[in-house]
Structure 1
Amino acid sequence: MSCTLTREDVTSCNKNADCRTAFGAGLVCGASGLCERAPPSPRCTTTFPPDLLTRPKNYEGVITIGALMDRSVETQRGREDAIRLATTQVNEERGLDGRPFGIVFCDVAENSQYDSLKRADAAVASARYLADVLGVPAIVGPSASGDTIAVFDAIKEQGVLVISPAASSPALTGHDVATATDQDPGLLWRTATPDTVQGAAIARHLTTSFPTATNVVVVNEKGAYGTALADVFTAAFQKDGRTVRAIPYETASQRDAAIVDAASTKPPFVLFFSSQTADAVAFLNAATSLASYENISFFLTDSAANPDLLSGAAGAASLFPRVVGSRPAVPEGPTFELFKTSYNAAFKKDPGALAFVPHTYDATWLVFYGAAWSLRQEKAVTGIGIARGLRKLSAPGAAEIPITPANWTKVADALGAGTPVNVTGASGKLDYDPVTEETTGAIDIWKISADGKAIESSTTIDPR
């Protein structure tokens, strides 16, 4: 009797990508040099389809995309629903060459049930999980400008495309590449109009609608959103003898002190620029208790244009008639109306009442289009391939193709053949500049309805 001993050769891994290539998503390279299954991130357990990560064999060839939203904010929960809708629709059209799309949603809210991380840190940690453990080629979100920059900087070396539906700070322009080309596109994109447009629109509104308001105060959150918007507004407004006094803040205590200070000179307007709805709520709730604000009007921005402001500041409802603000124009036209109908049917909500929800729907479809270019032109779905595809969606002079499920095959086939197209979205035109990779759009001036229950557009300023 004899026996034969057989030795099994084991190849050590050097990085997580080695394990994903060999065994699929969710495997990481352990300290021993062997691949092991990574523990799930508690922030990233929600998926679409719901069993995407728990039953991966049901989704052979799935193209998984990440999403980063703050689930403590109603508008951002609405943005997650827009991603679900787009993904449902593209999969009903048989996905990309028979491969379905899947989404891993990560909650970036400050929530002790997850951990002790602040929102920006939670966004970065979640993005690293999506990029390094799951190997997603693209991420939709986050929403805040500062968070978006932090996420991009954390994962840019991994070639993941980041597309924000709501980050509007001018600081994003050129943050990736100064001059983008078809060969070397940027990996940082957005469907939101930059605040170079919003800041100028705010100044234009005040100077034309309130010509006697020549000295105003700006209270702004320090950072990519608040500081940049304050700078743009100041440059546009501070002409012909008009003045701006800016009071920046970083912490809640500094914010509260700035609110008190802002009213001390009795300006006709105090403008409040923050990326966080909670800060705008705190501003109104504080102002209603201060006699110094008795004759002052208030100007807020897009982050405040949502139901959370109305519910959170219900105790300050007496101030609502003096509150106005700015936000990207509420879309209109057949592409938006079809999206609105589908969204309302699925979620029983009006997407026009939730800021940047149409922009999120468009951002998700743009990733799908980019993936079609990447797979069919470059034989793999990668972040850089998706970015090259995005540069083919604003063909000058080409007939507009609405972003609808029925047009998925038409757009994907054109891109697969190397033919640029000109898509228009639920949020409006998406005419990306080939150098800056930025789009533009109209700005709405909004007010609070007489009953205090809704945000209403009062006028539209279109820079185009």
Structure 2
Amino acid sequence: MLARLLRGTGILLGLLVAGGTLVGSGACSFGNVERDDCKSNDECVVTIGPNSMCVEGYCTDPPACSTGHDCRKIGGGGACVDGVCVSTFPKHPQCSTIFEPAELAELPLAGPDAPLVIGSIFSLAETKDEILTQSVRVAVREINGSDKLNRGQRMAVVVCDNGGEKNAATGPARDALNHAALDYLAGTLGVPYIVGPLSSADSLRLVARVKEKNYPTVIISPSSTSPALTDTDDRLAMGEPGLFWRTCPSDTGQGAVMANDVIDVDPVVAGGNIAVAYVSDAYGQGLATVFRQVYGLGRSELFPIDESKLTDPGALAKLASDIDMYNPAGVLVITVRADPTIEILKAMVGKPVAARSFFFTDGAKDASSLLNPNLPAEVKQMIAGAKGTAPASPTGETYELFRANMDSQFQTDAADFSFTAQAYDATYVGAFGVIWASRDGTNYDGRQVAEGMGRLSTGDLVKITATEWPKGKNALAGGGSINIEGTSGPLTFDPATGEAPGRIEIWAVQNDTFVTSTVINPP
């Protein structure tokens, strides 16, 4: 089938004639259309789709596809819409608010100067999640401003929401949002990798969907720390690389530090019983289990609450009452975000347990929520002097440069939120994988990207910065390996698990701010 280009009211339209029916890509009438032969293949690619060629004034059909990965492999780019590769950016309601660059949705996905689009999935109603998308965008801007990708291609990112209004979606509703976001990014767009999501539960949902739909897209989470993700099946076939990676350490380390180096040595708790209040998702279950295994089953008790019950006053009141009856020496609260922690604390107000020592994990380390000056006085008193654990806050020249860039570009202090550096690192890690995968052309997908990510722990040292990007790019494009040092710290990946061990910090709330007291190196 051939298509002649039409010009009408200044817009270039592709016209397909099929079975005697005239099908246009935009509304027009024959009164405002002037026939115009195509002049070049590039004109056809941009207007009709990747691999469309100009033959005797007509554009040939673009190729058929199952996913956007097919379009990149066959034609160097494009999206897969209704089984055909197209160059026009298809829009999705969950993925319509954050783009980098801002005009991405108006750019062609194939043809000269078309960018390589990557994806990101976060709950955009949450401040913390939105901050992590800023880290991703800083990295994309730096790569584009440095030496770009192979053959001078630019990067771009589209961000999809998986939490719904007020991040209130749970259960099947949240599954549907995660599935739709992944189907759009890994299916329609065929992105080679995705940065996100924040929570372990969402990561497990997305990995299962990757397997179900056979999407060859890498998922790189900066913050999903559940030990359950270490052993999850993330390969599309035996012998292929795993498609789930993370730039944060597993909670196997954080749970042990919380037990041995925080609570067991706390002079007020003095080895007493600990109530472990947690949201019963993958993150809460995993970290609570590790903590109790190390601290002792006889010295701790579990108090779970379902995520869907966090807005139920009766369920929260029962949780607080049960913990109070246990009469613990201290309370460990494990939630993936700070707001649920605050709701649990509010439920304890007025009970004797409110005077006990409180301990938090990385999910609560969010200055905008946990240190909110408008919190009730009783809750602020419970938070004051509390201690917590988290993947270590980065330090050093590289981190300070990243922190300055976040401040200058988004007026955000990266130190006020966990995992900002890990999200920035994840974007660079995936981009280095793309350099390896695309060194010989565009016939690649996330499996080759994962192979490239497995080549980032041996070779010459390359720091994750814009200035050292060309050094790492050139080495990988030449078939070599590099040893990256992340903004978040060393990233010595195990290719079998997609994980890198990391340091754990012990932090405290002092004078309405977060203070790091100790950093524990991995064993």
Same fold (TM over 0.5): yes
Matched, 1:208 2:265: yes
Matched, 1:321 2:373: no
Matches of 2:232 and 2:18, distance apart in 1: 52
Match of 2:56 in 1: none
Matches of 1:36 and 1:89, distance apart in 2: 26
Matches of 1:311 and 1:298, distance apart in 2: 17
Q: CA deviation at 1:247?
A: 1.7
Matched, 1:85 2:138: yes
Q: CA deviation at 1:437?
A: 2.6
> Higher mean Cα deviation, 36-45 or 18-27?
18-27
Matches of 2:86 and 2:404, distance apart in 1: 46
Matches of 2:76 and 2:254, distance apart in 1: 47
Matched, 1:300 2:363: no
Q: Secondary structure of the residue that 1:53 maps to in structure 2? A: helix
Matches of 1:126 and 1:400, distance apart in 2: 36
Q: Secondary structure of the residue that 2:106 maps to in structure 1? A: coil
Question: Out of 104, 107, 111, which is 1:52 matched to?
Answer: 104
Q: Aligned ranges for residues 12-31 of structure 1 at < 5 Å?
A: 13=64, 15-17=66-68, 25-29=78-82
Q: Secondary structure of the residue that 1:219 maps to in structure 2? A: strand
Query: After superposition, what is the alpha-carbon deviation per residue over 1:178-215, rounded to whole angstroms, capped at 9, x for unaligned?
Result: 9x99x622100000110000000000121123462321
Query: After superposition, what is the alpha-carbon deviation per residue over 1:332-365, rounded to whole angstroms, capped at 9, x for unaligned?
Result: 1222122122222222222122110000000000
Matches of 2:456 and 2:462, distance apart in 1: 10
- Which residue identity is paired with 1:441? G
Q: 8 Å contact 1:120–1:146 — kept in the other structure?
A: no
Q: Judging changes above 3 Å, is the alpha-carbon distance between structure 1 residues 196 and 37 closer, same or farther for their aligned structure 2 residues?
A: same
Q: Judging changes above 3 Å, is the alpha-carbon distance between structure 1 residues 390 and 337 closer, same or farther for their aligned structure 2 residues?
A: same
Match of 1:152 in 2: 207
Match of 1:108 in 2: 162
Match of 1:3 in 2: none
Query: After superposition, what is the alpha-carbon deviation per residue over 1:306-349, rounded to whole angstroms, capped at 9, x for unaligned?
Result: 02222287112122224221111111122212212222222222
Matches of 2:167 and 2:266, distance apart in 1: 47
Q: CA deviation at 1:14?
A: 6.7
Q: Aligned ranges for residues 251-266 of structure 1 at < 5 Å?
A: 251-252=308-309, 253=312, 254-266=315-327
- Structure 1 unpaired stretches of 5+: 1-5
Match of 1:441 in 2: 502
- Which residue identity is paired with 1:374? A
Q: 8 Å contact 2:89–2:108 — kept in the other structure?
A: no
* Number of residue pairs aligned between Structure 1 and Structure 2: 449
Matches of 1:25 and 1:36, distance apart in 2: 5
Q: Judging changes above 3 Å, is the alpha-carbon distance between structure 1 residues 313 and 192 closer, same or farther for their aligned structure 2 residues?
A: farther
> Higher mean Cα deviation, 439-448 or 82-91?
439-448
Q: CA deviation at 1:456?
A: 2.1
- Structure 2 unpaired stretches of 5+: 1-16, 20-59
Q: 8 Å contact 1:19–1:28 — kept in the other structure?
A: no
Q: CA deviation at 1:121?
A: 3.5
Match of 1:63 in 2: 116
Q: Secondary structure of the residue that 1:185 maps to in structure 2? A: coil
> Higher mean Cα deviation, 123-132 or 229-238?
123-132
- Which residue identity is paired with 2:430? V
- Which residue identity is paired with 2:257? A
Q: 8 Å contact 1:176–1:187 — kept in the other structure?
A: no
Matches of 2:331 and 2:106, distance apart in 1: 51
Query: After superposition, what is the alpha-carbon deviation per residue over 1:92-118, rounded to whole angstroms, capped at 9, x for unaligned?
Result: 124112100010011223218999984
Q: Aligned ranges for residues 206-355 of structure 1 at < 5 Å?
A: 206-210=263-267, 212-238=270-296, 242-250=298-306, 251-252=308-309, 253=312, 254-288=315-349, 290-307=350-367, 308-311=369-372, 314-315=375-376, 316-355=379-418
Matched, 1:125 2:186: no
Q: 8 Å contact 1:66–1:105 — kept in the other structure?
A: yes
How much identity, in percent, do the aligned residues show?
Answer: 29
Query: Could you tell me the TM-score, scaled by structure 2's length?
Result: 0.79
> Higher mean Cα deviation, 55-64 or 96-105?
55-64
Q: Judging changes above 3 Å, is the alpha-carbon distance between structure 1 residues 54 and 149 closer, same or farther for their aligned structure 2 residues?
A: same
Q: Secondary structure of the residue that 2:91 maps to in structure 1? A: coil
Q: CA RMSD in A?
A: 3.1
Question: Out of 411, 421, 427, which is 2:488 matched to?
Answer: 427
Matches of 1:88 and 1:264, distance apart in 2: 53
Match of 1:99 in 2: 153
Q: Secondary structure of the residue that 2:498 maps to in structure 1? A: coil
Query: After superposition, what is the alpha-carbon deviation per residue over 1:39-69, rounded to whole angstroms, capped at 9, x for unaligned?
Result: 6211101211111122227973311100011
Q: 8 Å contact 1:281–1:313 — kept in the other structure?
A: no
Match of 2:518 in 1: 459
Matches of 1:277 and 1:335, distance apart in 2: 28
Q: Secondary structure of the residue that 1:314 maps to in structure 2? A: coil
Match of 1:75 in 2: 128
Q: 8 Å contact 2:125–2:167 — kept in the other structure?
A: no
Matches of 1:443 and 1:234, distance apart in 2: 18
Matches of 2:300 and 2:128, distance apart in 1: 31
Q: CA deviation at 1:424?
A: 0.3
Structure with higher Rg: it is 2
Question: Out of 119, 125, 139, which is 2:194 matched to?
Answer: 139
> Higher mean Cα deviation, 36-45 or 381-390?
36-45
Q: Judging changes above 3 Å, is the alpha-carbon distance between structure 1 residues 370 and 350 closer, same or farther for their aligned structure 2 residues?
A: same
